[in-house]
Amino acid sequence: MTTVDRPTSGTGPTTVSAPAKAMCPVCDDDGLPIAPDTPLTGPGLPADPNVRDPAPRPTATAEIGDWMRGYTRRHPIASLETVGGQVILGWQALVYLVTDIVHLRFPWKEFVRQSAFMTSASALPTVFVAIPIGMTLSIQFALLAAQVGATSLAGAASGLAVIRQGAPMVAALLMAAAAGSAVCADLGSRKIREEIDAMEVMGLSVIQRLVVPRMVAAVLVSVCLTGVICFVGFFSGYIFNVFVQNGTPGTFVTTFASFATVSDFVLTMIKAAVFGAIVAIVSCHKGLNASGGPAGVANAVNATVVASIILLMLVNVGFTQLYVMLFPRTGF
């Protein structure tokens, strides 16, 4: 007999016979059966197949490579997909616009409603922004003209700056900040409420019903706001130059008329139309692809304003450079 001391509820030691221990192949040193869930490990025993070795920790080089691949997939490729989607959306909207006008199916009611909405959202801020811009340009060009001894050219410089660059850019930026964000929020709300999906299920074209009237309304409102800014900016610069800086009214108007041409105003209107279309396409694309509930709509609105401003700046640089190359100024 083999005697093993083990604490029990009694007071004496527990006695286990040696033959009983020999008959139990899965007993501990005390001769008691081992629980079935306990893995059998130790010298001379096979490794437990259920016990796996811990995975090796990736090296710093592997982590950096994974991060670079993820960044490339998330940002540059996603950016290209976004730009491609916006180009396709703009082309489809243009095709639907021509087709609807030819077949007399253009949604005039929605167009008038969106035009009134964009005008109410952008008109007053545009006027209040155009006044200080005209005054600021008048101050800067008057100081520069006084330094070089050409005070008579202050009117031409400030007027051309407002018409060529200030008016279309101010109109486009306010369209992106006010009208574009509102359009994106409207379409994004429809998207998360599944109204867009319902229209597609019923066989209605979302581009034809929602995108086309908003794009045409944005183009019209942008052109009108640009004309208003041209007048307000020039008039505010004239008033400030004459009554504050003691300039000559006739000289201000004469020098402006000598340098400004009709092509400058035509280019400004073309830029305004293109800027309005860009704002509409970007806002509609972001709104139609919004996801994630109200937070996703807020993110889409933020992305709309940022992307529109960056794209407008780049397009403005291209327009300006092409105009200088195609229509060089040889004199006045």
Angstrom distance (rounded) from CA 171 to CA 112:
19
> Interhelix angle for 60-74 vs 76-102, to 10°?
10
Tokens of residue 265, six digits = 């105003």
CA distances from 296 to 80, 85, 236, 279, 299 (A): 20, 18, 41, 19, 5
Identify whether the C-beta of residue 280 lies closer than 8 Å to the C-beta of residue 90.
Answer: no
Low-confidence ranges of the chain (pLDDT < 70): 1-56, 73, 329-332
Q: What is the pLDDT of residue 2?
A: 45
Angstrom distance (rounded) from CA 79 to CA 9:
74
**Beta-bridge partners for 14:** 4
Angstrom distance (rounded) from CA 331 to CA 180:
40
Q: What is the pLDDT of residue 4?
A: 45
Q: What is the pLDDT of residue 330?
A: 59
- In 193-211, which residue ranges form alpha helices assigned H by DSSP? 195-201, 206
**Beta-bridge partners for 15:** 3
- Give the CA-trace dihedral at 58, 64, 65, 66, to 10 degrees: 70
Q: What is the pLDDT of residue 24?
A: 54
Identify whether the C-beta of residue 67 lies closer than 8 Å to the C-beta of residue 73.
Answer: no
pTM here?
0.73
Q: What is the pLDDT of residue 41?
A: 52
Residue 3 backbone dihedrals phi, psi, to 5 degrees: -105, 130
Residue 198 backbone dihedrals phi, psi, to 5 degrees: -65, -40
Angstrom distance (rounded) from CA 232 to CA 58:
64
Closest C-alpha to 232, from 303, 311, 129, 141: 129
Tell me the domain boundaries of the chain. 89-325
Angstrom distance (rounded) from CA 44 to CA 178:
78
Tens of pLDDT, residues 90-148: 899 999 999 999 988 888 998 999 999 988 888 888 888 888 888 888 788 777 777 77
Q: Would you give the end-to-end CA distance of the chain in angstroms?
A: 125
Angstrom distance (rounded) from CA 48 to CA 202:
60
